[in-house]
């Protein structure tokens, strides 16, 4: 008998991230623009200009846009087209902002204005014209050399599949800020160039110098795994753990050891700290040490009275055996029935429904009773309860078909077993059941 189920312990833009980044960049200039607008006024335009500037300053972008557009229509002064474009961005009218920005460049001959090029870069990016968006933002970055602008430009290079250019910008920003979000982008840029070793060296250096906090620790482990660098991760997280043996550092080290299947070493680390006892139990299972797993589950049940651990104790008592004495099977089934009864009372009291782990216990108990003739009808009922939770489980369908077969109900056995696709009958127990049910019941049906 087997349990038959594992225990459960840039093509087209717009890009909303770029759009939000541009939006933030624009408003760093709005207040300065208010004062520049006042200074730009002359006597014939003061009233309309100041009203527009006041609206801009108070974030009334619709009114500000109307004032500046009227001034531009009356004077054809490029500066008012620029202010109207700025107000259009504020009110979310990118199309008008783009048209006015182009008009400003055409009338003024000024190609290097920071605000105008931010508008052009945003509009080009939103319309999928990445090449022109990059050209515009390169001009901005020369004049406004900040990490915020650099990051947006780097993101555009990545979308353009130019990781080398992105890497150079990300590296500059990371060297200045040591920001982990930039570090992640820098590592990815190296990986896109197949420079996995450089990516891992950079990540390792950062972790050893600055440590990590969640969720960056788990994200880092995924990077090591994806770039085939788990051995390097082990060396890094072991150093961090030895230097500062805290529970978070131990947890990260255990994660690496588990990923490397170094379960015994992980067990040793876990037992040095007051971890959740369920973690220690899981590590025993990973090592295939079902006797220690059974003892651990029994201890947890004794302390917590959680019936799931009583059920696990019973399951681990069976372990990975293919056959056990009938008396032992009866003892395990009795313990499982007790656990299931307690668990059902617990679920009823809390108003919860059984989950997939409950389904596993129902099927395990039911199949055990069927296979060892400990109560065929009751066993079939348990399996049906498992299928109520997971109706497509091939393991549970096999259990039910086997129960019907043992009850002599060939019609039901064949009908249920037929629900299992032929190409999924790929383990010894399923093949044996297929031969026996098909052979015996098939002949009877004829």
Q: Within the chain, what is the greatest distance between any pair of CA atoms?
A: 107
Contacts of 318 (CB under 8 A, 6+ apart): 1, 3, 324, 329, 332, 368
Q: Which of 173, 187, 254, 177 is nearest to 219 (CA)?
A: 187
DSSP state of 439: I
Going from N- to C-terminal start, the domains of the chain cover: 46-144, 195-275, 289-385, 392-445
Distance (Å) of CA 227 to CA 1, 68, 185, 411? 39, 54, 15, 53
How does DSSP classify residue 273? T
Q: Please name the residues in contact with 108: beta carbons below 8 A apart, sequence gap of 6 or more.
A: 78, 79
Q: How many residues does the chain have?
A: 446
Please tell me the distance from the alpha carbon of residue 24 to that of residue 147, in angstroms, as a whole number. Answer: 13
- Give the pLDDT of residue 54: 53
**346-371 burial string, b = 16+ CB within 10 Å, else e?**
eeeeeeeebeebbbbbbbbbbbbbbb
Question: pLDDT tens digits for the chain (446 residues)?
Answer: 544 333 333 233 344 444 545 544 444 444 444 445 445 445 455 555 555 555 555 566 777 787 778 888 888 989 888 888 888 888 888 899 899 999 999 999 999 999 999 999 989 998 889 999 999 999 999 999 999 999 999 999 999 999 999 999 999 999 999 999 999 999 999 999 999 999 999 999 999 999 888 889 989 999 999 999 999 999 999 999 999 888 888 889 999 998 999 988 988 888 877 677 787 888 888 888 899 889 989 999 999 999 999 999 999 999 877 789 999 999 999 999 999 999 999 999 999 999 999 999 999 999 999 999 999 999 999 999 999 999 999 999 999 999 999 999 999 999 999 999 999 888 888 999 989 988 888 666 55
Quote the pLDDT of residue 71.
82
DSSP codes of every residue in 65-99: HHHHHHHHHHH--HHHHHHHHHHHHHTT-HHHHHH
Residue 422 is given by DSSP the state: G
State residue 56's pLDDT score: 59
For residue 138, the model assigns a pLDDT of 95
Q: How far apart are the first and last CA of the chain?
A: 30
ω into residue 215 within 30 of 0, thus cis? Answer: yes
Q: What is the pLDDT, as a whole number, of residue 58?
A: 58
Top CATH class of 46-144 equals mainly alpha
What is the pLDDT, as a whole number, of residue 43?
47
The answer to whether the CB of 256 falls within 8 A of the CB of 237 is yes
Distances (CA, A) of 42 to 38, 47, 76, 82: 9, 10, 15, 17
């Amino acid at each position: 008998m087997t349990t038959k189920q594992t225990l459960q312990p840039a093509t087209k833009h717009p890009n909303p991230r770029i759009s939000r980044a541009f939006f933030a960049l624009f408003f760093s200039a709005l207040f300065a623009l208010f004062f520049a607008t006042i200074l730009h006024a002359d006597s014939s335009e003061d009233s309309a200009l100041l009203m527009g500037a006041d609206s801009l300053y108070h974030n009334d972008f619709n009114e500000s846009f109307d004032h500046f557009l009227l001034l531009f229509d009356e004077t054809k002064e490029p500066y008012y087209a620029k202010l109207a474009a700025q107000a259009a961005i504020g009110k979310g009218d990118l199309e008008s902002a783009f048209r006015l920005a182009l008009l400003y460049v055409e009338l003024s001959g000024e190609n290097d204005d920071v605000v105008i090029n931010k508008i052009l870069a945003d509009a080009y990016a939103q319309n999928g014209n990445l090449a022109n968006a990059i050209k515009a933002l390169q001009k901005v970055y020369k004049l406004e050399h900040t990490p915020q602008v650099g990051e947006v430009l780097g993101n555009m290079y990545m979308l353009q599949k130019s990781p080398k250019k992105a890497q150079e910008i990300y590296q500059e920003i990371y060297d200045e800020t040591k920001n982990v979000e930039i570090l992640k982008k820098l590592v990815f840029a190296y990986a896109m160039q197949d420079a996995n070793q450089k990516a891992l060296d950079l990540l390792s250096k950062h972790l050893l110098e600055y440590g990590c906090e969640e969720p960056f620790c788990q994200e880092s482990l995924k990077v090591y795994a994806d770039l085939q660098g788990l051995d390097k991760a082990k060396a890094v997280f072991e150093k961090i753990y030895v230097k500062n043996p805290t529970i978070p550092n131990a947890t990260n080290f255990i994660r690496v050891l588990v990923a490397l299947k170094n379960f015994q070493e992980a067990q040793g680390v876990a037992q040095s700290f007051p971890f959740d006892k369920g973690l220690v139990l899981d590590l025993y299972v990973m090592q295939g040490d079902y006797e220690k797993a059974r003892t651990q589950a029994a201890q947890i049940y004794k302390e917590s009275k959680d019936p799931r651990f009583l059920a696990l104790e019973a399951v681990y008592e069976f372990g990975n055996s293919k056959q056990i004495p009938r008396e032992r099977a009866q003892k395990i089934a009795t313990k499982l029935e007790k656990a299931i009864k307690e668990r059902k009372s617990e679920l009823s009291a809390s108003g919860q429904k059984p989950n997939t782990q409950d389904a596993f216990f129902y099927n395990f108990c039911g199949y055990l009773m069927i296979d060892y003739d400990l109560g065929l009808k009751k066993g079939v009922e348990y399996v049906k309860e498992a299928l109520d939770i997971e109706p497509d489980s091939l393991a549970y369908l096999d259990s039910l078909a086997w129960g019907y077969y043992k009850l002599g109900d060939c019609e039901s056995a064949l009908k249920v077993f037929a629900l299992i696709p032929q190409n999924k009958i790929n383990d010894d127990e399923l093949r044996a059941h297929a031969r026996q049910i098909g052979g015996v019941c098939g002949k009877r049906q004829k």
